Amino acid sequence: MPLNQLRPFRLIAIVPSARRVIEWRWNLEGLTMRNHRWQPQHWFSSGLDERRAERERQRVCDAAHDQQSARNLAWLRQLHRSHAPKRGPFSICMHRADATTVSYTEVAVSKRRATMRYKPGPCCSNGAIVTRTISLARLL
C-alpha cells in the first residue's frame, strides 16, 4: 500500500544485538528516520495536544520505573492500563468524548519464537487478547 494512502504512524525497531533503536515516522507529508540512544524509552502520540500528552505520560512512566516490579511484561501491561494522574485525554489509557485508545499490541521475540499479542480497544477494557506465535528456528 502506498504511504500516501496511510494515516500518520510511527514504527519503532529495537535491535538488541546491535543496541539500536530506530524510529520511522510518517506524517502524511514525508517519511523520516531517527536513531535513538540505547536506553529505556517511551513514545507517545496525541491528536489533541502531543506535547502535553508526552509530558503527562512521561511523568507516569518515570514514577512507574521506581516500582520494584518495573521492566517486566506484567508491569508494562499495567502501565498501559493506567489512568494516572486521572482518566482522560492525557492518561496512557486515553479516554476523550470523541476518541479513546484504539488498541494495544505487544511483540516479544526470542531466538526461538516471536509472539504478538493484540487487544482491540482501550487497555482497561475486558476485550479478548489475540495471541499468535511463530517459530523462528526454521529461519536460522
CA distance 39 to 22: 12
- Which amino acid does the sequence have at 118? Y
Average pLDDT in the chain = 91
Q: How many residues does the chain have?
A: 140
Phi-psi region of 46 (alpha: psi -120 to 50; beta: other; left: phi over 0): beta
What would the pLDDT profile of 63-118 be if each residue is shown by its tens digit? 988 887 777 888 999 999 999 999 999 999 999 999 999 999 999 888 899 999 99
When pLDDT is averaged across residues 30-45 and rounded to a whole number, the result is 92
What does the DSSP 8-state code read for residue 95? Answer: B
- Name the percent of the chain lying above pLDDT 90: 64
pTM, to two decimals:
0.79
